[in-house]
Each structure stands twice: as C-alpha cells, then as structure tokens.
Amino acid sequence: MATETQTPPTGTSAAPQPAPIAAPPLAPLPSQPLVAYKDADAEMKVRVDKALAELNIKDSNSIIFFGARAQEQVTSISENMLEGVRNKDTGPAGAALSEMLSRLRGFKVDDLDPKNKPGFFGRMLGSANPVTRFIQQYEDVRKQIDSVSNRLDGHKNKLMEDIVKLDRLYDANLQYYHTLADYIAAGDEMLRRLDAEVIPALAKEAESADMLKAQALRDMRSMRDDLERRVHDLKLTRQISMQSLPSIRLVQENDKSLVTKINSTMANTIPLWKQQLAQAVTIYRASEAAKTVKEATDLTNELLKKNADMLRQANKDTREQVERGIVDIEAVKHAHAQLIATIEESLTIADEGKKKRAEAEKELVGLEASLKSALAQASARAQGARPPDAAPPAPPKA
C-alpha cells in the first residue's frame, strides 16, 4: 500500500514536521504448503513430535483442544488491543480531523474584502470595524482549533501505540500460522498411524468376538473421526490466519497514514492557515491605507481646482471694478433726464398756479359784489324802504 506524503506548498515556510512512523510494508500472503511428517526436515520433525506429545488419542479433551495452545499468544495480544479500545474515552481521529477542517473552512476571510460594503442596517446602526470583527472571530476559532489539536495529539499517540501493537499481533499471527502447520502435520501423522497401525491391530483383535475389543475398536474409530474433524478445523483456521495477515498490515497502514495526516495538519495546515490570516489582515490594512491616500489626493486636487476657480473669479471682479469710472455714464444720463424732467415739471406747476390764481381773483370779485348787494338789501329792509332793485347776479363762470 502506498504511503501518503504531504508536500508543503511552494513558496511557503512550513514548520518542522515530525518524522513519520515507519510501518512494515504490506507483506505478501504466506504460501508455505503443508509438509507431511515423512517429508519434513529434522527441525520441523522436532516441532511435530512436540505437538504429537500433546495429543492423547484416548482423551477426548486432548483431541478437542488439540492446537489451542498455539493461539494463546494471539489471543493475549488481541485482548490487550481490545482492552485499549474499551479504555479510550476519545472519538475517532478521523472525526476530529474533519471537525478541524470544517472549523477552518467556516472561517470567513471575505469579511476583510475592501469591496464589501455594509448594508443599510449596518450603516444605520454603525457596524463594527471589519478588522475588529475578524480578530474576534479568529480568537473564537483559534480556541476551537486548539481544543481539536489537543484531541488530535491524543489520537496520534493512541494510533502510534496501535501501530506497535499491530506489529506484535502480526508477528504472533504469523507464528501462529506456522505453528498450525506443525499441528496439522502432527494430526495427519497421527491419522496415518491410526489408519495404518492402531485401527488395523484393534480390528484384528476384535475378530475374536470379544465385545470389549469391539467397543475399543469403535471408540478408536470415533476418536479417529474426531481427530480428523479437528485437523480439518485447524486447516480452516490456518487459512483464516493467512488471510488476517494482510488485513493487519492494511489496518496498520491506515493508522500510519492517519498519523502522517495528523502530523501534516498540525505542522503545516494550521501554521499556513494562521499565516494566510495574517496576510489577509495585512492586505486589508494596506487597502485601507491606500484608500486614505486616495482620499487625501482627491481632496488636494479638489482644493487646487476650487482655489484656481476662486482666483479667476476674484481677479475678474477686481479688474472690472478697477476699470470702471467714478460715475457710470448710465447714472449721469439718468441724473440728466431727471433734472430736465424736474425743471419741466416745475414750469408746468408754475403755469397752472398762475392760471388758478387768476380764476380765483375773478371769483373773489363776484363774491364781493354779491356780498355788497346782500348787505344793501338788508339795510333797506331795516329802514322800511323799498329795497332797491338788486342787480342781477353775475352769471356763473364757465
């Protein structure tokens, strides 16, 4: 199975990465054929003879548990590993790793995008500074990441312990595989001896019609059948043991890959994540500084334009006033016209006054004559004399 490796991105400085846990390569399936006792070498014959010494063909328990001692080491290692699994109070390492990645993905760097403008309610309520919100969010996520990192570190230690235990389990299982071959050879050798020597001898003795001899023959044949079934079970167990060897290596390789992934995440992913966040903050601040510089430049240009416009207008107004005379010709014309109109109006008023005074004098003469006549009549009446004929009144002046 290929070993997963993590290569840091080009152009970035990664933290020192711990040395990967070396696991043995995936071993091929053992293909050692079963060897008969007569074809075995001297070393194997010693092991087979030892297995034969454990077998008592007349004891049913000896047949039933034949070969069970070889599995004790495998059982002991397996129970230790299961006990370690029961004592674990942490969840799977893959779940913690996925949780960390989801935390990192959930962190929004887009909040620092200078193109993002606050919404209507944000402008009305006065939204907080993006950098302040970003730092607060970073602190929350950092605490969560630290917690997950501690859990991952615990998972890594457990996985490293499992890798070592899987090595021991693999060696014990491989030894068990070879030991089963010795027990199977011993069982086959015992079956050969029973079929070739013991059972024929008992069958010959049973020909004497002795019931005990016949029962002994039946018991031996029954024991022989039990042993044959036990040897068959041992062969099946050997096949299963052979299949478990690559399975152990596969689990070990998966644990090793997961440890490598955890190391890469803690040594590369988290520091790179923090580095990218620092760059995002720096870029945002540079953008804000550029925006301020642009506003200052725009203000300078605007003041320069306004000052130029004001200078032109002020110069125009000043020169117009300087070039004007003390009195405008329009004012002189207006004064002249008003003067002439005043003189003419004065002459007209004087003529009308003379005319009205002449008419008033005429009316005064008439009024005076009328008054004299009235007084004369009044005096005549007072003396009893006929009043003189009054002069006719003067006709009214048209």
Query: What does the pLDDT look like over 71-113, one tens digit per residue?
Result: 676 677 667 666 654 444 444 656 666 666 666 655 555 554 5
Nearest Cα neighbor of 363 from 328, 331, 393, 324 is 393
Tens digits of residue pLDDT in 244-284 = 888 888 888 888 888 888 888 778 877 877 787 777 778 87
Q: How confident is the model at residue 29 (pLDDT cuts 50, 70, 90)?
A: low
* 199 within 8 A of 224, measured Cβ to Cβ: yes
d(CA 67, CA 186): 10
d(CA 210, CA 53): 31
Q: How confident is the model at residue 2 (pLDDT cuts 50, 70, 90)?
A: very low
Higher pLDDT, 158 or 74: 158
Predicted confidence (pLDDT) at residue 390 exceeds the cutoff of 80: no
Could you tell me what percent of the chain has a pLDDT over 90? 11
- Averaged pLDDT of the chain: 76
Tens digits of residue pLDDT in 292-319 = 899 999 999 999 999 999 999 999 888 8
**Range of weakest confidence among 175-184, 223-232, 268-277, 373-382:** 268-277
pLDDT, mean of residues 286-291: 84
pLDDT, mean of residues 192-199: 90
Q: How confident is the model at residue 49 (pLDDT cuts 50, 70, 90)?
A: confident
Q: Which residues of 293-302 are buried (b: 16+ CB within 10 A; e: fewer)?
A: eeeeeeeeee
Predicted confidence (pLDDT) at residue 349 exceeds the cutoff of 90: yes
* 104 within 8 A of 273, measured Cβ to Cβ: yes
Which residues lie closer than 8 Å to 187 by C-beta, 6 or more apart?
55, 66, 67, 227, 230, 231, 234
Q: How confident is the model at residue 327 (pLDDT cuts 50, 70, 90)?
A: confident
Please calculate the CA angle 42-45-49 and round it to the nearest 5 degrees: 145
d(CA 151, CA 141): 15
Per-residue pLDDT, 91: 46
Which of the residue ranges 6-10, 81-85, 121-125 has the most confident prediction, judged by mean pLDDT? 81-85
Per-residue pLDDT, 305: 92
Predicted confidence (pLDDT) at residue 118 exceeds the cutoff of 70: no
Per-residue pLDDT, 300: 92
Per-residue pLDDT, 321: 81
* 395 within 8 A of 362, measured Cβ to Cβ: no
Per-residue pLDDT, 257: 86
pLDDT, mean of residues 333-360: 90
**Range of weakest confidence among 95-109, 149-163, 353-367:** 95-109
- Three-state SS annotation for 42-60: HHHHHHHHHHHHHCCCCCH
Predicted confidence (pLDDT) at residue 22 exceeds the cutoff of 90: no
d(CA 265, CA 149): 9
Higher pLDDT, 139 or 51: 51
- Whole-angstrom CA distances from 188 to 55, 179, 318 are 12, 14, 131
